[in-house]
């Protein structure tokens, strides 16, 4: 097994995800750094998490942006939003007042949320296979962390940092536009029958499902996990805000290593051990919280936080991207991992800060353990539901394949022309009217009726019902 990262589709997806994650984490670090110069540690942590909550709104707005706006308007809006985000970051750098750092920062995160959802959705649309999805996410995540580390340590001027963010924003906008054009070109160049056949398009077969339970359970799982990781993150951010540690220094390299390792470990046997590995990481993180509250080393806590956070980021990103392939609104589900994480971080901010400042270490440990128990229950429910969901999709795919094989054999048996085969497929596999069939094939009703008459004559039936019954009972002779 090898990862074919040399393919252009994989390279584009890795670049899009890597640049977006760099921008999101880089602007977050930059925002925290500026806010910390103006307010105390608790207010800094609160501002960070509220900005993350605002970004979740951007993730949720993307399906409307994608479906309600025409192609040309979407392209123009993408460029305008990139420019608006650049302006917001530049305004933050001026530090005219606390409000002119806080509100432009939130506006920037709103736009980044929109771009993030677009990134994950378009990455899935352009990839040729989802078999190595986790490691591609891991490579992109590691790339983003290394870019952020280089920016934090090599650039000393905030103005130059703003210029770097601006260039990457333009690069991300260009990649998004390129990916959207590629998806649009592929959609328009293939007709309906070719799009349903993976062999014709070169894309992996996608069977949509109306079942949303696995997605809901995964949202709950990521949200509860985020409570644990956000508590660790808040503790680290609080120490960074008061100047005790700098989260942009060398321990952050561990975050890149853990993300890269997570990608390759999660892909073992097509994700067979993904949930189990993530559960072990959760145990480690919960134990770390308990040790810190009992007087353990903050440095050890920082290392554990970085090692576990990389696994968590790759887990929720890859899980929701893969799930989005089978959901009715893929634009919504592709970025739902980051959405659930950010919403959870924003909601627990007040309680988390109050708990950390309470001094009641035993209460902190008990709550962390209770949260771990809840995560364990939701994880078990998700694993069971996901297994049933996967089996249902596999059965449906097998049925589709059998029907497709039967259609091919029947069409060959009665020597249908390519157009007659398309008309026949819609006659027996859909309830569409003759007019709807004609419109779907871009032919006139009269031409469609002529093909139907020819099919009836070749098969020897007189009605659509007779054709359907004959087809259902027909078996290929040896």
**377: pLDDT strictly greater than 90:** yes
Residue 347, C-beta contacts closer than 8 angstroms, at least 6 positions apart: 53
pLDDT tens digits along 85-94: 999 999 998 8
Can you give the pLDDT at residue 401? Answer: 54
Residue 198, C-beta contacts closer than 8 angstroms, at least 6 positions apart: 204, 205
Do 396 and 213 contact (CB within 8 A), yes or no?
Answer: no
**199: pLDDT strictly greater than 60:** no
Confidence of residue 371 (pLDDT cuts 50, 70, 90): confident
Q: Give residue for tokens 């145990």.
A: 283
Can you give the pLDDT at residue 194? Answer: 39
Can you give the pLDDT at residue 52? Answer: 87
Stated length of the chain: 478
Can you give the pLDDT at residue 293? Answer: 67
List the single range of 129-143, 232-246, 322-336, 462-476 with lowest mean pLDDT.
Answer: 232-246
Confidence of residue 197 (pLDDT cuts 50, 70, 90): very low
The model carries a pTM of: 0.76
Round to whole Å and give the CA distance between 367 and 370.
5
Residue 17 Rama label (left phi>0; alpha psi -120 to 50; beta): alpha
Confidence of residue 244 (pLDDT cuts 50, 70, 90): low
Q: What is the DSSP string of 109-148?
A: HHHHHHHHHHHHHHHHHH-S-STTHHHHHHHHHHHHHHHH
**95: pLDDT strictly greater than 70:** yes
Q: What is the dihedral of CA 461, 472, 326, 280, to 10 degrees?
A: -170
Can you give the pLDDT at residue 238? Answer: 61
pLDDT tens digits along 162-196: 999 999 999 999 999 999 888 877 665 544 443 34
- CA distances from residue 118 to 25, 60, 181, 361, 412 in whole angstroms, order as listed: 17, 11, 13, 42, 43
Range with the largest mean pLDDT of 28-32, 110-114, 327-331, 343-347: 110-114
Q: What is the DSSP string of 151-216?
A: HHHH---HHHHHHHHHHHHHHHHHHHHHHHHHHHHHHHHS-HHHHT-HHHHSSPP-------HHHH
Q: What is the mean predicted confidence (pLDDT) over 272-299?
A: 80
List the single range of 278-287, 344-353, 373-382 with lowest mean pLDDT.
Answer: 344-353
Q: What are phi and psi of 155, to 5 degrees?
A: -105, 120
pLDDT tens digits along 404-417: 677 888 888 888 89
- Per the structure block, which two tokens stand in for 87? 């302006």
Q: What is the mean predicted confidence (pLDDT) over 342-368?
A: 76
């Amino acid at each position: 097994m090898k990862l074919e990262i040399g393919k252009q589709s994989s390279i584009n997806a890795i670049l899009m995800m890597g640049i977006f994650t760099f921008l999101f984490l880089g602007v977050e670090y930059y925002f925290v750094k500026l806010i910390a110069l103006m307010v105390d540690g608790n207010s800094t942590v609160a501002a960070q998490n509220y900005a993350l909550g605002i970004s979740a709104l951007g993730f949720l707005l993307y399906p409307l942006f994608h479906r309600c706006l025409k192609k040309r308007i979407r392209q123009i809006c993408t460029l305008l939003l990139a420019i608006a985000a650049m302006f917001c970051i530049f305004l933050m750098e001026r530090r005219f007042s606390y409000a002119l750092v806080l509100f432009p920062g939130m506006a920037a995160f709103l736009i980044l949320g929109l771009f993030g959802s677009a990134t994950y959705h378009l990455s899935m649309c352009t990839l040729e296979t989802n078999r190595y999805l986790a490691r591609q996410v891991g490579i992109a995540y590691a790339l983003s962390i290394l870019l952020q580390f280089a920016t934090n340590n090599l650039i000393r001027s905030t103005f130059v940092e703003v210029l770097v963010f601006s260039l990457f924003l333009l690069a991300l906008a260009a990649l998004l536009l390129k990916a959207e054009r590629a998806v649009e070109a592929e959609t328009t160049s293939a007709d309906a029958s070719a799009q349903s056949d993976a062999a014709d398009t070169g894309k992996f077969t996608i069977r949509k499902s109306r079942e949303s339970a696995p997605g809901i359970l995964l949202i709950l799982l990521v949200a509860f996990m985020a409570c644990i990781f956000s508590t660790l993150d808040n503790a680290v951010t609080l120490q960074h805000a008061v100047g005790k540690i700098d989260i942009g220094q060398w321990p952050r390299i561990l975050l890149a290593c853990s993300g890269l390792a997570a990608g390759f470990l999660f892909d073992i046997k097509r994700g067979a051990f993904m949930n189990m590995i993530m559960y072990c990481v959760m145990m480690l993180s919960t134990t770390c919280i308990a040790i810190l509250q009992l007087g353990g080393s903050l440095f050890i806590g920082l290392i554990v936080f970085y090692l576990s956070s990389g696994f968590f980021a790759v887990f929720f990103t890859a899980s929701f991207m893969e799930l989005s392939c089978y959901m009715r609104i893929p634009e919504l589900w592709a970025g739902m991992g980051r959405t659930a994480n950010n919403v959870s971080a924003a909601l627990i901010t007040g309680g988390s800060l109050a708990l950390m400042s309470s001094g009641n270490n035993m209460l902190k440990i008990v709550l962390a353990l209770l949260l771990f128990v809840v995560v364990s229950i939701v994880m078990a429910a998700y694993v069971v539901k996901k297994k049933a969901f996967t089996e249902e999709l596999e059965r449906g795919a097998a049925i589709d394949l059998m029907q497709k094989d039967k259609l091919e054999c029947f069409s060959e048996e009665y020597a249908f022309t390519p157009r007659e085969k398309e008309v026949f497929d819609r006659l027996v596999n859909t309830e569409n009217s003759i007019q709807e069939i004609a419109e779907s094939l871009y032919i006139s009703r009269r031409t469609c009726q002529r093909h139907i008459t020819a099919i009836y004559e070749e098969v020897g039936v007189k009605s659509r019902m007779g054709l359907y019954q004959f087809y259902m009972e027909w078996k290929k002779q040896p």
